[in-house]
Structure 1
């Protein structure tokens, strides 16, 4: 099921991570072209690996991904998984986008019986937005992209992974890591669904999204516990782009009865310390503007890199 990332290290001399200092992600750093491409390439890689897992889980459902013009990738799964999974990323990051390029993208969606949606990086070539406007795309939401340098986190690098050492946060909370076994995978799926099921999505969809994290070879699972009970969970994907290593924190989930007790902040802090211990120097979090994840990320040293508009084809 779950496979630990290679050359991993979690240093056991730091069982109680301290709060990271104020973010070093200055606006100047976040606007550097290499940093922007690093963040966007990691988003493309993250979703590619997620969709590749869905291709394994649902081999008869014609799930696919397709490179398109100017650096874009189209992801086609099942409509009920939502527009953050069924979308296009990277469009216009490598040059000019034409109306014909968008037409080809739309043809892929027509074959899959899906409505085209593009998560557009605001640093994409301006021709991308112009081509989308020409073909009647409208704004249908936003996704906030947070980023953080890990250079200021003081931990040592260790060449070995250990899942046995829990991290403590105050007198009542610990964070543990999920080893590669079926019991942890099942526990993670159940805990993830428990934290998300009040947002209107079906249990089937929530379980599928959690299972896609469990089965990824680049992902480590995390569990926050209060008084021995699972109070929340999250995952960390360890990836590498041409610009460097990046740790993406995702699928954080806290059940209603444990909210407001610092669960997500503890999960974020634990993963940041582990990422730095593993030799990673950069981290990202994606979230909708309407939820509290962004506030928690900022408290743990993240800065808002940019906001992506979701552009959706207007139906006649």
Structure 2
């Protein structure tokens, strides 16, 4: 049983900083893949505004609310940059961030579209994961990258119906490209789960500043409800312990099967993020 974890503004700021770093790294990988595209990374208010290509889940402003509030001029410039790409400005706003930011964005015409939950758990030194005998979890090498991407995209393209449905839909080709971009980020570890020898699930993890970011996991529809996601969580927690991380963080849709599996694995709900969009 993991120890109880209280999340105040300092811990939330630490988690959001890690999320910003990962978003920037994924965006930069996308810009290397498509140097001709008009991608950008702009630092603002302690966070970052990123754009890679139309339809990408990385097109967002992350990490605001834990630094100096952006000025009206800075927000004008940001919204103009997104408008030039034909993309709405989407801000991820953590519940524990400065409430003045939510007021400012609402006054500018941003509308609330959805929420996501940030969960975490303390990683005990020496944690050893358990994987059911019917499953095999291995680090995925470069020779398995295509299989890993295929499982991730197939899982994301067919979200579980439990909980609140996501309001976002992404083209499969864009999902595949972004998945490869995130896999190319320095320090990202890939995991492939096999059930009866068949690729059944995929996941990734990035460690930094003592935080293990469980930044992607998917189970192929035909292999759901067989403990694949729980086994991937357990394997990553064990690796995170060996990497001397003290905290594991995962992001899920509210009320989803992923949230349920995470909480069964010792994760606790820390805070929510609101998705605010201005077209």
TM above 0.5: yes
1:298 and 2:263 matched: yes
1:78 matched residue in structure 2: 53
CA shift, 1:290, in A, is 5.2
Question: In the aligned structure 1, how far is the partner of 2:133 from the partner of 2:35?
Answer: 46
Question: In the aligned structure 2, how far is the partner of 1:290 from the partner of 1:60?
Answer: 40
1:175 matched residue in structure 2: 137
Question: In the aligned structure 2, how far is the partner of 1:258 from the partner of 1:309?
Answer: 31
CA shift, 1:204, in A, is 0.6
1:161 matched residue in structure 2: none
2:180 matched residue in structure 1: 211
1:151 matched residue in structure 2: 124
1:267 and 2:232 matched: yes
CA shift, 1:210, in A, is 2.0
CA shift, 1:192, in A, is 1.6
1:24 matched residue in structure 2: 3
Q: What's the RMSD between the two structures over aligned residues?
A: 1.8
Question: Matched residue pairs, number?
Answer: 270
CA shift, 1:208, in A, is 1.1
CA shift, 1:131, in A, is 1.2
Kindly indicate whether the alpha-carbon contact (under 8 Å) linking 1:102 and 1:132 is maintained by their aligned counterparts in 2.
no
CA shift, 1:73, in A, is 0.9
CA shift, 1:260, in A, is 0.4
Which blocks of at least 5 consecutive residues in structure 1 are unaligned? 1-20, 156-166
1:101 and 2:39 matched: no
Q: 1:48 aligns with which of 11, 21, 24?
A: 24
Which blocks of at least 5 consecutive residues in structure 2 are unaligned? 160-168
Question: In the aligned structure 2, how far is the partner of 1:96 from the partner of 1:59?
Answer: 31
1:36 and 2:12 matched: yes
Larger radius of gyration: 1
Question: In the aligned structure 2, how far is the partner of 1:133 from the partner of 1:73?
Answer: 19
Kindly indicate whether the alpha-carbon contact (under 8 Å) linking 2:207 and 2:243 is maintained by their aligned counterparts in 1.
no
CA shift, 1:113, in A, is 2.5
CA shift, 1:231, in A, is 1.2
Kindly indicate whether the alpha-carbon contact (under 8 Å) linking 2:125 and 2:241 is maintained by their aligned counterparts in 1.
no
Kindly indicate whether the alpha-carbon contact (under 8 Å) linking 1:99 and 1:134 is maintained by their aligned counterparts in 2.
no
Kindly indicate whether the alpha-carbon contact (under 8 Å) linking 1:188 and 1:210 is maintained by their aligned counterparts in 2.
no
Normalising by structure 2, we get a TM-score of 0.90
Deviations 1:51-93 (A, max 9, x none): 111111111111111012x2121111223113xx111112221
Normalising by structure 1, we get a TM-score of 0.80
Kindly indicate whether the alpha-carbon contact (under 8 Å) linking 2:132 and 2:231 is maintained by their aligned counterparts in 1.
no
CA shift, 1:112, in A, is 2.6
Kindly indicate whether the alpha-carbon contact (under 8 Å) linking 1:97 and 1:125 is maintained by their aligned counterparts in 2.
no
1:190 and 2:150 matched: yes
